[in-house]
A and B are shown apart, each in its own frame.
Chain A
Amino acid sequence: KQEVTQIPAALSVPEGENLVLNCSFTDSAIYNLQWFRQDPGKGLTSLLLIQSSQREQTSGRLNASLDKSSGRSTLYIAASQPGDSATYLCAVKESNYQLIWGAGTKLIIKP
């Protein structure tokens, strides 16, 4: 059974710092891995999708990597800003098209 873990559960850093969020999964037979952000009481916004054949994806200050063999993905945020404060979730898509979700990392960027 696929399990997705995100560490740490919460992270607080000063504005301007670069940071890395971690996501690990137990079964490497995935179609893709996605990173989302969720603002309090709101829905999720898709940030990056990495296909199983890819190593990384970039969008602006965000860079996500995928290492299927080790069951790990990282989300790198450069030059963090207070507006980056949110909960970040990762999810892997399995062969039955279902997404298995991590519990998220709550990120706080201090001005």
Chain B
Amino acid sequence: EAGVTQSPTHLIKTRGQQATLRCSPISGHTSVYWYQQALGLGLQFLLWYDEGEERNRGNFPPRFSGRQFPNYSSELNVNALELEDSALYLCASSLRQGVSTNEKLFFGSGTQLSVL
């Protein structure tokens, strides 16, 4: 069974451009999470989608946005890119929260975004 897949693996953009990152969860998982991991820093929570709706949002500006599609895959969009947006962006999926509070998270390998 396929794990969480993210594309692209690497993405190079210039300041002011837009970036779109994609994530496909494990089959049967309805919750998708996005995290930012800047070099040397811990994971920062960005967004949580479940059943097509945004359930929670981290402390990031509105230019970070996303959506979840009917097949539960997800996109993260970053508009007006800034140099400090350079980071590894990780997607994780789980079974729907609320069914159990002890659902494990499964992570993809990430998209390394470099803003020049």
Contact = CB atoms under 8 A, between A and B. Distances in A.
Bind each other: yes
Contacts of B6: 43
B83 interface: no
Interface of B: 4, 6, 41-43, 45, 48, 55-56, 88, 90, 92, 97-98, 101-102, 104-110, 112
Contact of B110 (A43, A89, A91): A43
Pick from B42, B48, B88, B112 the residue with the most CB of A within 10 Å: B42
Contacts, number: 54
A31 interface: yes
A29 to B, nearest CB: 12
Interface of A: 31-32, 34, 36, 41-46, 49, 51, 89, 91, 93, 96-99, 101-104
13 contacts: A34-B104, A41-B88, A41-B110, A42-B110, A43-B109, A43-B110, A44-B105, A46-B104, A46-B106, A89-B42, A98-B56, A99-B105, A103-B41
